[in-house]
Amino acid sequence: MTAHAAELRRQQSRAEVRRVILDAAESILVEVGYEGFSVRKLVDRCGYSAPTLYHHFGDKTGLVDALLEERLGRLVVELRAVPDSDDPVEKMRALVRAFADFALSSPTFYWLLTQPRGEDAVPVPSGEEANAILVAPLDELAAAGMLAHGDVELVRQSIWVQVHGLVSLPPVRPDVEWHTDLLDQTIEALIRGWIRTDAS
């Protein structure tokens, strides 16, 4: 085996180890939350030793951050794939729908994303990037005087809370016959509710 082939084999092996560890970590976090998560539980679940985990991720915080960064990176890709528009209202509508679609297609990860983390946790880069993409149209609307309320953070939180309900409630209440147009119509009503009627 050549040196190049050996290095490729080592890289593949490292990637496979990381994948097993991250998948096991996500399953534990979903089961017990951040506070119940421990390296000991992860060792038992994934089969790799604690030194191996520390070698790849540093510590518990580093491991969870790596998992969030990986998954949120996918969200960033999907948000950046949203077609650009000169109309910030249309852009906002499309971005909110893309975020909702991501949450619906990855319910396990979305649940994990909404769970509280440790007090010393630092923002995940991809999470910050995703938030910046989502907030950009709101900043444009605010600058143009088109928001019914000038507090962009209030509007952002309002939209997040509403979308969270839209993507979280139906899976836990399958007994309800949810309207097929519920998501789009609620997003439309929500966004339009924050737009000044004399500016739209």
Average pLDDT over residues 123-135: 91
Q: What's the CATH number of domain 1-58, 1.20.1250.20, 2.102.10.10, 1.10.10.60, 2.70.70.10?
A: 1.10.10.60
Residue 117: pLDDT over 80: no
- Asked whether residue 104 carries a pLDDT value surpassing 80, the answer given is yes
Helix residue ranges, H only, 37-59: 39-46, 50-57
pLDDT at 3: 55
CA separation for the pair 200, 89 (Å, rounded):
9
Percent of residues, the chain, with pLDDT higher than 90: 50
Average pLDDT over residues 103-124: 79
- Local confidence band at 77 (pLDDT 50, 70, 90 cut-offs): very high
How far is residue 57's CA from residue 179's CA, in Å, rounded to a whole number? 44
Q: Is the pLDDT of residue 2 over 70?
A: no
CATH level 2 (architecture), domain 69-200: Orthogonal Bundle (1.10)
Q: How far apart are CA 53 and CA 199, in angstroms?
A: 55
pLDDT at 126: 92
- Exposure pattern of 162-176 as b/e (b: 16+ CB <10 Å)? bbeebbbeeeeeeee
How many C-beta neighbours within 10 Å does residue 147 have? 20
Residue ranges of domains in the chain: 1-58, 69-200
pTM for the whole structure: 0.78
Mean pLDDT across the stretch 27-49? 88
Residue 198 has pLDDT above 80, yes or no: no
96: Cα separation from own chain's centroid: 12
Q: How many CB atoms lie within 10 A of CB 140?
A: 17
Examine the pLDDT at 13 and tell me if it is beyond 90: no
